[in-house]
Amino acid sequence: MITLTGDQWVMMQSAAWATMLVSYLRTDSLPQAVTHTFDGNHPCPLCNAIAQSKKSEKKSEFMPNPTRLVFLPVEQERALAAPDRFQLVLVESSKFAQALAKPPMTPPPRAIPA
């Protein structure tokens, strides 16, 4: 499914950028490493391979290329409506949740002077 949408290139390019950034951080400062990674002038071998593969990739003949969207009319009788009444559903709670629901002690405990 990923290959149908082209997301494999995004994932591979992200991995290449992460690898490049780590590699540049070994010798450069953070701003310089980020610049070298994303400026496009210092591609790594994986970046070059991704670019070549994207160029040579055959476009799928099954992917539609719509030029405009067509919306079908909706009949008023079939429109969604809110339910007449809502039902409260009780879920069995854990002992911890029941302990939290208890009211605090009355009167509250006094602070112990230090």
- Please state the pTM of the whole predicted model: 0.46
Cα-to-chain-centroid distance, residue 111: 47
**25, 33 in Cβ contact below 8 A?**
yes
What sign has the CA pseudo-torsion 26, 27, 32, 37?
negative
CA atoms within 13 A on the CB side of 114: 0
- For the chain, the residue count is 114
Cα dist. 104→4, 14, 101 in Å? 58, 52, 9
The per-residue pLDDT string of the chain (114 residues; one tens digit each, 9 = 90 and over) reads: 555 566 788 888 999 999 999 999 999 999 999 999 999 898 899 989 888 888 887 665 566 656 676 777 765 555 566 666 665 555 555 666 666 777 766 776 677 776
**42, 36 in Cβ contact below 8 A?**
yes
**16, 47 in Cβ contact below 8 A?**
yes
pLDDT at position 66: 61
Residue type, 42: H
